[in-house]
Amino acid sequence: MAQKTEEEATIDGDILETVLSRVPLTDLVAASRVSRDWNTAVYSSLRHVNRIKPWLLVHVQTRRHPYATTSYAYDPRSAVWIHLHQLPNLKYISALRSSHSNFLYMLSPSHFTFTSDPLRLTWTKADAPPRVWRTEPIVALVNDRVVVAGGACDFEDDPLAVEIYDLRTRTWDTCESMPSTLNNSAASTWISIAVRGGDMYVCEKSSGLTYSFDPVTKSWRGPYDLRPDQKVFSSAIGLADGNLIVVGLLGSSESVEGVKLWKVRSDESMECEEMGEMPMEMVEKFVGESYCVSSVTVAAMGKIVFLHNPTDPGVVIQLEILDGECRWGCVRNTVVNDGSRMQLVVIGCCDVDISDLMRMAIKSDVELGPSETAYVASHVVD
């Protein structure tokens, strides 16, 4: 009788997969170690029932040495915020910066360190910093090369200088400067960046003027007009669902009338096709309490696009592209408060899976077990 009761209480098959589909990814790490059957059910649930979605990453950093940094993630699959614990021996040499959604870097006169690792578990330190000293450069990882362009200090001879760091040879090389038409805007403040295939795209936010750069041939192409609507006063680019996308703010910085999304054709025409428009109630949340909205920041990965107002990131707009259609939602940024508003807030996104969380446990010198996941990543409770 006892054996029969125990068998009746067993949860497996489709029922177990459905239950696991409601469990946050961080807790599935422990669940996958319960037994072989549970491990199979966890991965089957992630493939067929509730797929993993890219995480929104928020890093809050003090503005002075030693640049103390706290990192959080939002998992749209489970709709939970997660506190990512600091890794031991990770030193921040300067302010943390983000580029094209998933690339983080730190730049000082003597160091250049960067990572594209989803959870910042591994960093690469260049053997030498860029030869040209820059304060607000445009930085992008294109396959096995890091491109550093523009943003040069006033005393440098060429404010549009471009350098490439080869990850294979660990050496710097110079090449053709940025187009002269970007002379007054060649800095990360005024330029939006995206990487598609083997090219880096730079878009002037105020005009939509866009160029592409191939680090292999070291050549620029363009210009392209990525201002598909004359009502757009500021735009940003990203890569989502395999396409280059443009997000445009309509109206004026004092009165945002709307936000639209376009995808860019992959041929030489670079024509824009409208995909959707943000509902007005979400536009109001996007604007927040800002008196002036000068730009929109885009963090995109896979089919997920996160948009926020850099002057008031209290709400992040989440866009999911499904079968070519836009599904809009909003996420309250629980990381932003009166204290963090005075600090540097860096926002990006990344693809994360269970193996990344397991690697984080190893890097943190934490033995991952069914009851120890919280040491690696713990849920933030509002």
| Domain-located, residue 341 | yes
**124 and 210 assigned to the same domain:** yes
Residues of the chain with pLDDT > 90, as a percent, come to 57
Please give the residue that has the higher pLDDT: either 29 or 280.
280
22 and 96 together in one domain = no
Six-digit token string for 5: 């009761």
In angstroms, rounded to a whole number, what is the distance separating the alpha carbons of residues 232 and 116? 31
Higher pLDDT, 339 or 192: 192
pLDDT in tens, 182-207: 998 989 999 999 999 999 999 999 99
Q: What is the mean pLDDT of residues 234-260?
A: 96
Q: Which amino acid, one-letter code, is at 284?
A: E
How far is CA 186 from its chain centroid?
21
The range of the structural domain enclosing residue 42 comes to 11-51
Residue 19's Cα: distance from chain center in Å?
30
Query: SS3 for 43?
Result: helix
Q: Does 172 reside within a domain?
A: yes
Residues 258-281 as b/e (b if ≥16 CB within 10 A, e otherwise) read bbbbbbbeeeeebebeebbebbee
Q: Which residues 6+ apart lie within 8 Å of 321 measured at CB?
A: 240, 241, 275, 303, 304, 305, 327
Q: Are residues 16 and 68 in the same domain?
A: no
Find tokens 């409601």 and name the residue. 22
Q: Please give the pLDDT value at position 10.
A: 61
pLDDT tens string 267-312: 888 999 999 999 999 999 999 988 899 999 999 999 999 999 999 9
Question: What is the structure's pLDDT at 148?
Answer: 96
> Is the domain of 205 the same as that of 103?
yes
Question: 17, 44 in Cβ contact below 8 A?
Answer: yes
pLDDT at residue 135, rounded to an integer: 87
pLDDT of residue 89: 67
Statement to judge: residues 46 and 57 lie in one domain: no
Question: Residue 145 has what pLDDT?
Answer: 97
Please tell me the distance from the alpha carbon of residue 87 to that of residue 59, in angstroms, as a whole number. Answer: 14
Find the mean pLDDT for residues 107-113.
91
Q: What is the pLDDT of residue 372?
A: 34
Local confidence band at 11 (pLDDT 50, 70, 90 cut-offs): low
Convert the pLDDT of each residue in 117-153 to its tens digit.
888 888 999 999 999 999 899 999 999 999 999 998 8
Tell me the angle at which helices 36-48 and 13-20 cross, rounded to the nearest 10 degrees.
70
> Tell me, what's the pLDDT at 248?
97
Q: Report the amino acid identity of residue 196.
A: R
CA 131/CA 286 separation, integer angstroms: 39
| Whether 95 and 207 share a structural domain | yes
- Mean of pLDDT values over 336-360: 85
| Alpha helix stretches (DSSP H) within the chain | 2-8, 13-20, 25-31, 36-48, 280-287, 354-363
Distances, alpha carbon 284 to alpha carbons 113, 239, 259, 312, 315, in Å:
38, 25, 10, 12, 10
173 and 277 both lie in a single domain: yes
Sign of CA dihedral 251, 314, 336, 119: negative
Q: Which CATH number fits the domain that encloses residue 312? A: 2.120.10.80
Least confident segment among 74-83, 325-334, 350-359: 350-359
Number of domains in the chain: 2
Residues 25 and 91 in one domain: no
Pairing of strands 315-322, 304-308: antiparallel
Q: pLDDT tens digits, residue range 355-380?
A: 888 887 766 554 433 333 333 344 44
